[in-house]
Amino acid sequence: MLGDRLVHEHPTDGPLVGRIVETEAYTGDDPACHGSSLHDTANPQGADARASGLFAAPGRGYVYLIYGMHWLLNVVTEPEGTCGAVLIRAVEPLAGEEALRRRRGPKRRDVDLTNGPGKLAEAFDVDKTFHQADLTQPPLYVAPGPVAADETVATSSRIGISNGVEREWRFYLKENPYVSRATPSAEKQ
C-alpha cells in the first residue's frame, strides 16, 4: 500500500489527497491486534464489538478511537471472516493542504500535518463516520499509486504497542520526511 493515494472528497474543503508513506500490519494471530482475543475465544463476528470490524470484507474502513482523543484509520485487508487490517500511520499531502492546515491549526509545520496516525486522521477529517465504510468508493477511498525508483521501503518493529513487538510489520518510505518520527530513539533501518 505504500505509495498509494488516500483520497477524501470532502463536502466543504474539496478533495484532500495524501500519499501513503508509512503503514503497519495487524492480523488475527497477532497478539497486538484488537481482534486477537476474538480470534482465540468468543464468536468473532459478534455484532457490534469494536474489533468485529476487523473481520469485515477487505477494503472496508476500521476506525478506532485511541486514548479517548485520536482516531486511527485502518484498511481491512483479509477476506471476510478473517481478522486483519493495515494501519495508515503517515501520508504526504498532495492536495488540499490549506484545508489540512486549517483543521490541524495554524502553527503546525508542514510535516506535522500528517506525520502520525492521529494527526492524519484529524487533518483528513476522518472519524467514526467512516468506520466500516467502503474505502474503494468516494467520499473516502484509497487509489493505487507508484513507489518511485529512488525510494527505499524500510521495515521496523511497530510503534506504540506492548505485545507482538518482535514482529517487524511496520513499513515506510525511508527517505520521506512525512514518516512519523515515533518515539525518539528506536528508529531502525
Count, in order, helices (H) and strands (E) of the chain.
3, 9
Give the number of other Cβ atoms within 10 Å of residue 4's Cβ. Answer: 20
| Host H or E run for residue 101 | helix 97-104
Comparing CA positions, the residue from 28, 31, 77 lying closest to residue 56 is 77
Mention every residue, 6+ apart, whose C-beta is less than 8 A from residue 107. Answer: none
Span interacting with DNA, options 47-55, 95-103, 133-141, 166-174, rule CB under 7 A:
47-55
- 110 lies in the site for DNA, by CB under 7 A: no
Count residues near DNA (CB under 7 A). 40
106 sits near DNA (criterion: CB under 7 A)? no
32 binding DNA? (CB under 7 A):
yes
Among positions 112-171, residues that touch DNA (CB under 7 A) are 112, 116-119, 158-163
Q: Which is closer to DNA, CB of 37 or CB of 155?
A: 37
**CA dist., res. 180 & res. 171, Å (int):** 11
Among 47, 67, 106, 149, contact with DNA (rule: CB under 7 A): 67
Q: From CA 35, how far away is CA 53, in angstroms rounded? A: 9
Residue 8 or 39: the one with the smaller Cβ distance to DNA is 39
Write out the residues near DNA by the rule CB under 7 A. Answer: 24, 26, 32-34, 37-38, 49-51, 54, 62, 64-70, 72, 74, 85, 87, 104, 108, 112, 116-119, 158-163, 180, 183-185
